[in-house]
Structure 1
Amino acid sequence: MEHGVDERRRTARVLALASAEELAGLWAAWPDPPEIEYLRGPEAGLVMVQGRMGGTGDRFHLGEATVTRATVLARIADAGETVGTAYVLGSHPEHAGLAAVFDALLLSAQRDRVLSDVIEPLESAQRERDEHARAQARSTVVDFFTVSRENSGPDEDDDE
């Protein structure tokens, strides 16, 4: 099953931004879980983070960030095997492992169920959290203004 790069980015982002607790709860409630074998990790490492001035300028090295990656093989009854991979920011082995499991299921015949039962609810909750954070930030905005002096030179009275 091939799916677009944008869709793959979307689902990877949602899984990476979800909390480990959210993924653990969804996995615990998953009916007929497949047999999972770790092919790699979960293991933590460092990646170099790059930035751009103003989002459009030349790239520069911002620093290093810890990430955890995992790759799993899911053996799904009557559907074969699929491989899933996940990267999450920080040192969170359980989170990376669960995200990789759901990634593997997205590449299987269970894709529609994962999208409706996992990705869409998580994405909706993340949107609500982001909107709440934006609303809180907007409520603390202060409009600053500057007062300029009416005369641009030194006071004449100061010379005496």
Structure 2
Amino acid sequence: MNAFSPLEIRFSGSNWLPRLLYGITPVLGLLALTQLAADPARHVLILIIYTLVGIVVFWKLLLDDRADEVQGLNWDVEHQMMSVLTASAEWVPVDKLYRRLSVPGYFQLLVLQRRDRALPSWVWITPDRLRKTEARRLHVAIRWAAPIAQNPATGN
């Protein structure tokens, strides 16, 4: 008898939490920079550079990588395997699950290493993207599941 049946979730709606966090962070940075003690010419230059860099980072993180956004999750907890569905409709295996956090009713966070990317992916899941049963099952899996097993071809 399996303790966990495989979990297949398709996220609905938009992923608004990272967009909100990425939007608020530059504003807070600008507010902090206005308190900087510097002569006016340097102060203006610092604010302009910070704003331009913030726009580039915002564009890259939120608008440019839409094809890499995670749209679904397939987690076979019993066999310690996971894959994610990208916006380009491809299932990509997950090699490692770095962090997992679940705050029921607020959000769930998975920091995972996808096989097709060099950097870890942060998957923020808000309650409006899941049905209640899916949210409950995902919370239990995040809380009690064993780590993802390494790929036998690449593991030591």
* Category of TM-score, reference length = shorter chain: under 0.3
Higher relative contact order (CA 8 A, sep 6+): 2
Larger Rg: 1
Please identify which structure carries the higher helix content.
1
